[in-house]
């Protein structure tokens, strides 16, 4: 099984690249893990719907009908702690899918088509955050979930 994180990126930050590379190595120790960056056009706020549609089309090109899709969305399911999230992710891993794909949307979120295509929608927080913070937080929680599943001393209750 492979894990993939696809996210919309509007710019780079050195601190985020350092943290991302750290978690990339940690997760790859246990599962093949890839990051796929989607860079989109910068459009004015008045073209919000056009931007959402453009991002939708770019995301859908990277997905297979066999993928199990989990979107990170501020309106997604809120888990009562990392152990509950880990159990959910473990259940996703055990579905026998070849690839689990986590998605982080752009500044306007996901289109309805992406939301409908998703198998799950998870909230990292009810707060809105930029893509750098969301990416690192998602990667840390994926890593934490793996550690909990494998009884690796990382998570403390």
* Residue bearing tokens 């909230």: 123
Domains recognised in the chain with CATH numbers: 2-149 (3.40.1280.10)
Backbone angles phi, psi at 110, to 5 degrees: -100, 150
* Residue bearing tokens 């549609």: 53
Q: What is the pLDDT along the chain (157 residues), one digit of tens a residue?
A: 899 999 999 888 999 999 999 999 999 999 999 999 999 888 888 999 999 999 999 999 999 999 999 999 989 999 999 999 999 999 998 888 889 999 999 989 999 999 999 999 999 998 888 889 999 999 999 999 999 999 998 878 7
DSSP structural state of residue 123 = -
List Cβ neighbours of 92 (8 Å cut-off, separation of 6 or more).
68, 70, 100, 119, 120
């Amino acid at each position: 099984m492979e894990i993939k994180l696809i996210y919309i990126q509007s710019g780079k930050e050195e601190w985020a690249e350092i943290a991302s590379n750290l978690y990339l190595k940690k997760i790859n120790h246990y599962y093949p893990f890839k990051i796929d960056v989607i860079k989109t056009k910068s459009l004015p706020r008045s073209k919000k719907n056009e931007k959402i549609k453009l991002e939708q089309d770019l995301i859908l090109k990277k997905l297979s009908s066999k993928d199990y899709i989990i979107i990170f969305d501020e309106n997604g399911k809120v888990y009562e702690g990392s152990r509950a999230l880990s159990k959910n992710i473990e259940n996703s891993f055990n579905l026998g899918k070849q690839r689990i794909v986590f998605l982080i949307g752009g500044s306007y979120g996901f289109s309805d088509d992406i939301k409908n295509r998703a198998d799950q929608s998870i909230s990292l927080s009810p707060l809105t955050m930029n893509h750098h913070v969301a990416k690192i937080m998602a990667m840390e929680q994926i890593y934490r979930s793996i550690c909990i599943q494998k009884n690796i001393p990382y998570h403390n209750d």
